[in-house]
Structure 1
Amino acid sequence: MLGQIFAGLVALEHVYILILEMFLWTTPRAMKSFGTTPETAAATKSLAANQGLYNGFLAAGLCWGLLHPNGQTGEQIEVFFLACVLVAALFGGLTAKRSILLVQGLPALIALALVLWT
């Protein structure tokens, strides 16, 4: 149960990132979160929307696993998508912004460990 709660929190985080990247990219909140300037945000708006869509796919996959009628299959789906989040966080943390490791990677790692443990 604890693994599902954490996987749900990771899914919610990625829905929030989707909203920031797809719809709020040029707002002060998103620019502060991602460390961009108004000029950079305007120039990268379509790239951010694309990134947001991918974050939405991660959230959708986690929700699919959480809601799957077969618990064992749902757990396997959760493991796959949590691993995807973890790989994305590692890549982002190493190539873009180190805080991604903590903000996205750590929750995914905790959720993955809990799902595998229970």
Structure 2
Amino acid sequence: MDVSSVTVGLPVSDLARAVAWYQRVLEMGDPDLEIGDDLVEFQVGPVWLQLGRGATARSGAQVVLRLGVADAAAEHERLLGLGVDAEPLEHVEGVVDHFGFRDPDGNRLGVYALAQESSAP
């Protein structure tokens, strides 16, 4: 399999609210693609984040969008400052710093910094 790109789709109940939230929290501009009235896509690094209005029922499986950054501690503080209810920052010595949070529709997101990239103690 020669994969050229990856798209992660998240269901949302209110597309306009979701777009505004993701723009603010992930510091993104306007969507890169708008497909009809029910679907938008943002390019986030090498991944496409697709927000789709419609059924938010879950299959039992849970998708988690995790974003790698240079400094998880700095992002944690920034998100807390925006009023995002982020979980505590976890530090795994020599491996990773990470934390999770949810969007307004309950979709699970996470932020991590690998040890060699992290500036946290």
**Which TM-score band applies after superposition, normalised by the shorter structure?**
under 0.3
Relative contact order, CA 8 A, sep 6+: which one is greater? 1
- TM-score where L is the length of structure 2: 0.26
The structure that is strand-richer by fraction is: 2
The structure that is helix-richer by fraction is: 1
